[in-house]
Amino acid sequence: MTFRALVTNKDAEGKVSSGVEQVEEARLPEGDVTVDIDWAGLNYKDGLCLTGAGGLVRTYPHVAGIDFAGTVSDSQSDRYGLGDTVVLTGWRVGETQWGGYAEKARVRADWLVPLPRGFSTRDAMVIGTAGLTAMLAINRLEAVGLKPDGGEVLVTGAAGGVGSVAVTLLAKLGYQVAALSGRAEHAASLLALGASSAVDRDSFLAEPDKPLETARWAGVIDNVGGKVLGKVLKQVKYDGLVASIGNAGGIGLETNVLPFILRGVTLIGIDSVMQKFETRVTAWQRLGELFDFEAYGAGNVTEIGLEQLPEAAQAILAGQVKGRTLVKVR
């Protein structure tokens, strides 16, 4: 038995490239559940894995793809039976483990989450790792006191996957959302998703730097890190809450302690990869209640096939992808 997979290889000169191949089922890794994959996602981290950037992939040949959704075709686990629809995000699948860019995957049952009622496998990948992480961030911020009437919440990297889902979820929850983006051409679309204002990244960064700046944000969901996060922290209101999710703009963080010691600002790290099962199930269920597929799908979802992934990987690393890119695997 063979099936299609996008296989990533590294040559003797260290050049990483990927191509679609027929792969023997015997090459699937060990695991207690086999999944027929319908849809995978394209995330920033997939861009890193497909290009070899960041050193996330240690062994080649490799099958990338950090998230996928599909149907259980074989199960040694009590939790899943044949025909169950499931989603997988995290657990370093697609990095150190066999990933979602193949028609089949074999994984540990603990890594899977049953799809919320009414979700198709495509719906699950419209949300994907990006949407799950946005939901985890909102849940954490609310657990420590963020409330819709507390003031504006800033989302950075707003036109990307995590950012655009964060904008739409916050708006649905009644927050006033400012969407910071480096791409002015997507401002109208972010307003359509529910943002109340659009902030231009270049103008924002060009404002004179001070140790503490005018307090503007009750909360922040930051997908960018680097200079943007450093500056944002100085603009957070008294007792404000900041979730750090991503590093699309760099891993550095240059700031000072004044926002923390004079304004009581809290900086919270969000990791979606190693979250426990119960936290994931709760987040997916809340996504099922909140996420408006029709509104989000209008202009924020692109579909590609396995063959288009190498090109799409370059585009996401260059900050050129809008919203979510879905990979139709079969």
Q: Point out which residues bind ligand NDP (CB under 6 A).
A: 43-45, 129-130, 133, 157-163, 181-183, 201, 223-224, 228, 245-249, 270-273, 316, 319, 321
Give the nearest distance from C-beta 199 to ligand NDP in angstroms: 10
Start-end of H helices in 144-206: 161-172, 187-192, 201-206
Cα 260 → chain centroid: 27
Give the nearest distance from C-beta 223 to ligand NDP in angstroms: 4
Nearer to ligand NDP, 85 or 129 (CB): 129
| Helix, strand, coil content of the chain in percent (nearest 5) | 35, 30, 35
Give the nearest distance from C-beta 166 to ligand NDP in angstroms: 9
Asked if 159 and 152 count as a contact pair (C-beta separation under 8 A), the reply is no
Rounded distance between C-alpha atoms, residue 117 and residue 102, angstroms: 25
**Would you put residue 272 in left (φ > 0), alpha (ψ -120 to 50) or beta?**
alpha
Smallest CA-to-CA distance from 128 within 319, 315, 321, 260 is with: 321
Smallest CA-to-CA distance from 177 within 141, 124, 123, 214 is with: 141
Nearer to ligand NDP, 125 or 130 (CB): 130
How does strand 324-328 pair with strand 33-42? antiparallel
Smallest CA-to-CA distance from 322 within 164, 134, 127 is with: 164
Smallest CA-to-CA distance from 302 within 323, 282, 318, 278 is with: 323
Nearer to ligand NDP, 34 or 181 (CB): 181
Give the nearest distance from C-beta 315 to ligand NDP in angstroms: 9
Nearer to ligand NDP, 28 or 130 (CB): 130
When CB distances to ligand NDP are compared, the closest residue is 160
Give the nearest distance from C-beta 2 to ligand NDP in angstroms: 31
Give the nearest distance from C-beta 75 to ligand NDP in angstroms: 27
Cα 180 → chain centroid: 17
Nearer to ligand NDP, 104 or 227 (CB): 227
Give the nearest distance from C-beta 244 to ligand NDP in angstroms: 8
* Structural element, H or E, at residue 263: helix 258-263
Give the nearest distance from C-beta 164 to ligand NDP in angstroms: 8
Nearer to ligand NDP, 157 or 194 (CB): 157
Q: In one letter, which amino acid is 259?
A: P
Rounded distance between C-alpha atoms, residue 220 and residue 329, angstroms: 35
Nearer to ligand NDP, 3 or 68 (CB): 68
**217 Cβ neighbours under 8 A, 6+ residues apart:** 151, 152, 153, 154, 178, 232, 235, 236, 237, 240
Nearer to ligand NDP, 33 or 224 (CB): 224
